[in-house]
Every structure is written in C-alpha cells, then in structure tokens.
Chain A
Amino acid sequence: MAVIKFFLSLCLGLISSQLFAAVLPDDQADVLYHRYEGGGITVDGPSVLVRKGYKDKISAWGNYYTDSISGASIDLLAQGSTYYEEERTETSVGLDYLHDKTIMSISATNSSERDYEANSFALSLSQDFFGDMSTFSMNYSQGNDEVRQNIYEDGSIVETIDRGKARHQRFGLGLSQVLTKTLIISANAEAVIDDGFLNNPYRSVRYEESDGTLGREPEKYPETRNSDAFALRGMYYLPYRAALRAEYRIYRDSWGIDANNWELRYIHPIQQWTLEAKVRGYEQSQADFYSDLFPYADAQNYRARDKEMSAFSNQAFGLGASYDWQQTYLSWADNTTLNLYWDFIQFDYQNFRENTPDNTNEYGAGNEPLYGFGANVIRAFISIKY
C-alpha cells in the first residue's frame, strides 16, 4: 500500500511539474446556457466555446455568444415604457502560441446589437520563471464602438441616429506566485481608459420645474473615463481534499467612483461530483455627477441618473455542481462534465429611488422608496475535453 502511495505521489508530482510549466489549455468544447433574471428584465441565451490545439504549440479557439433581452427595467418603467426586446450577438476568435515558457495570445471580438456595434482586439503575454513558481503576465486590449439610437413609433424602429464613437483601452499586469505546497496567490492590476460617447442615449435624468412638476432631459457623461483596479486572489488546499478561494479587489475611477468587492469560495469534490459554494460582497460610491433628482434643468455640465452610477451595494450567494460524466456515447471525448451554477444577487441602492409613476404620485418626487431587487443567475453547461 505504501509503495502504491509512493508511486501515486510520484506520478502526481510529474503531472504537476508539467502543469506548472507553461502549457496551453486543453482541447475542449463548452456549450452553455446562461440566464439572468432580475430588476424586471430577463437576459438569456447560449454560449459555445470550441478550442483545438496543434502540436502542443498552438491553440485556436472560437466563441459564439448571444444575449436575448426582454422585459422592462426600472428606467423604462419610469419613462412610461412597459416592454422591450433586444438581442446582442458576440463572436470571438483567438490564438495562443507557446514557446518554451512563454504563451503569446491574440484575440478579436465583434459584438452586435441593433443600436450598438463593438469591435475589439486583445494581446497578452505570460511568462513562467523562478522554477515555474511564478508567472508574470501582461495584456492590452482595445475596443472601438459605434453608438446609435433607434427611434421607435408604435413599437417599430422608424429611424436610427448615429450618436458617436467610443474607444476602450485596457492595460493589465498580473503576477501569480506559488507560496507553499498548498497555497498560490495571484495579483492583478488593470488600468482602463475610455473616451468618446460613454452614456446611454436612451436614459434621461429628472429635475424639478419651477412650477413644482417634473421635467426630463438626456443624461450627459464626460467624454473620458480613467480607472485603476487592483485584485488579490488566493487558492488554498485544505488539510483534506477541498479548496478555498479568496478574492479582494479595489477600484477607483476619474468619475469619483470608489468600489471594492470580496469573494470566498469553497470547492469540495465528492467522488464524481465537485461542489462549490460562494459568497460575494460589493459596494461602490456614486459618480460625482450623479443625482436622483436634479434641482433644475441643466443644473450641471454632466449629469447621470443611471443606477450603476449611484451609491449601492450588493451581496451574492452561489451554489454550483459539476458532475464527471463517464459517458460512452462520444468515443473521441476524454472527459465530459455536466455543470450547473446558480447565483442570487441582492442589490440595495442608497440614493436611487424607485420612481415609477405610481410611486412618484403617492410619495412625491425625491421621496419614493429606495430601489432594490434580487437577481437569479443560472449557468448550465456541458464541457467536453478531447
């Protein structure tokens, strides 16, 4: 028995030494159904990822993803609309190239909606060093968007207006470090620089007219936004076969928003199952130019009433299960897993009010109940490695 244990540990050591040298991801195909339901809207659709390598040097991948959006958010209800449908399609392709201990990656993405077109590319480089205990990575991406606005009459689009272009650039650095036989940490920093038309052309802010009634005018955001985010993550192997993952991220941007989030995950394998439980917390301050109710028209150069620009917090709880399916239907598959993940996120807004027409009539503008909602997020997918 001791001999078997010795050989097992030796084999695992050999496998792990390969895993901790730079290697390309496994050949695999993932077919995912995703669903987000909360705040009056439902967003669901498929995501299909296929990855195939060649001679352990090159790995190419493609991803097809759609969002089907339906319902009426609080913004739509506040403006008297009742229902909305939209579809977004995203297609990505990428290539990873391995040379010695270096992986170079390039990818391109197109995202298309009736009123929004986005094209982006990304470059990244990662290098193992220090006996493969450390991995340094850097990435750059640039997205170029065309923002349009559809004009509706009787539920049909009668005209589309070009509203402007937006450019998003990301500069990222990462360092992962093996600390002990059971602990690995990862530090990431990323700067994001946005410029161009950055607000939603459909959303308006509300202000008080001199006669006491409510007026509306379009949101207006600054044309630049710079942000820095820093994250620290750790994976710890517990004294029995289970893992603990911890994460903390801080964020600050030039619009005055400070945010931070933390997350804890517990991963526990039982025979063919891998179970996961997660808790996460997030909080942010408001943007400098956000107000739930402006005192008069054109009160500021920049103005926002997007709930994502307000001060709020959310708490999430998640459960997941992955089943290692020993199927024989697909002879070419090495490993097949069936996966189901469910997250519940509770959003609580501190200065964004639920300004439906009924609430405003009942409580008065600026005195409506603060908004909050719960969202369910489902990820169900099959993952096949071959």
Chain B
Amino acid sequence: MRCIIRLVLLSLSIGLSACSIQPWVQSHERAQLADPIMAFEAHPVATRYINHVYEAREAARGAEGSAGGGCGCN
C-alpha cells in the first residue's frame, strides 16, 4: 500500500508540474496513435481470457491493465 501512496503522490506532482507546460502533441497530430493497431488491447474478451489463464497458472496477479483478472475460481 505504501508503494501505491507513493505512486499517487508522484502522479499528483506530475499533474501539478503539467500546469506550467502545454500539451506537445496536438489533436491533429495523433493520426498514427488513433490507428486501431495502436490499441493496447484490441479485443477485450480475448485479453480477459488470456489474463485468466496467466492468473490460474502463475502466482502473480494485478496491474493487468484494462482487462484485469480476478478469476473467482479454484
């Protein structure tokens, strides 16, 4: 939990420091970022399944991103 609190403080400091600078990538410059191949996870249902496989076979869990685990099974 201490690590989480540190991360919150870091995020807040980044956010506060961002007040003095302007976004450097404008909306019209994001064509490549908006390409579907740039999605972190293009298929949530498939991502959720593979994360379920990892969680069932590995001790590590958490920070999976948008399609997190929590398989509720034994």
Describe A's contact surface by its main secondary structure.
Answer: strand
Q: Tally inter-chain residue pairs, CB-CB below 8 A.
A: 231
**For the complex, what is the distance from the CA of A100 to the CA of B66, rounded to whole Å?**
20
Q: Is A60 close to B, CB under 8 A?
A: no
A109 & B72 in contact (Cβ 8 Å cutoff): yes
B58 & A88 in contact (Cβ 8 Å cutoff): no
For chain B, residues 15 to 61, give those with C-beta under 8 angstroms from any C-beta of chain A.
15, 18, 22-40, 42-46, 48-50, 53-54, 57-61
Given B22, B29, B65, which contacts A231 in the complex, CB threshold below 8 Å? B65
Nearest chain A CB to B9 CB, angstrom units: 11
Q: Is A55 close to B, CB under 8 A?
A: no
Given B3, B14, B42, B65, which contacts A228 in the complex, CB threshold below 8 Å? B3
A249 & B60 in contact (Cβ 8 Å cutoff): yes
- Count of chain A residues with Cβ under 8 Å from any Cβ of B? 104
A335-371 CB mask vs B (1 if < 8 Å, else 0) is: 0000101010101000000000000000000000000
- Count of chain B residues with Cβ under 8 Å from any Cβ of A? 53
Q: A308: which B residues are within 8 A, CB to CB?
A: 57-59
B38 & A116 in contact (Cβ 8 Å cutoff): no
Given B15, B37, B45, B53, which contacts A32 in the complex, CB threshold below 8 Å? B45
Report the nearest B residue to A309, measured CB to CB: B59
Nearest chain B CB to A288 CB, angstrom units: 12
B58 & A282 in contact (Cβ 8 Å cutoff): yes
B28 & A189 in contact (Cβ 8 Å cutoff): no
Nearest chain A CB to B15 CB, angstrom units: 7
**For the complex, what is the distance from the CA of A226 to the CA of B27, rounded to whole Å?**
41
**Selected A-B contacts with CB under 8 Å, 14 pairs:** A16-B34, A17-B27, A19-B30, A30-B43, A32-B46, A132-B23, A172-B68, A227-B62, A233-B40, A237-B33, A251-B62, A284-B59, A309-B59, A379-B49
Residues of B within 8 A of A (CB): 1, 3-4, 7-8, 11, 14-15, 18, 22-40, 42-46, 48-50, 53-54, 57-65, 68, 70-74
Extra contacts besides A227-B60, A253-B59 (16): CB < 8 Å: A133-B24, A172-B68, A179-B25, A181-B25, A182-B32, A192-B61, A192-B62, A237-B32, A237-B37, A237-B38, A255-B59, A259-B60, A314-B58, A341-B46, A379-B46, A383-B43
Nearest 8 Cβ contacts at the A-B interface: A118-B72, A131-B23, A16-B34, A17-B27, A229-B62, A13-B28, A190-B62, A12-B31
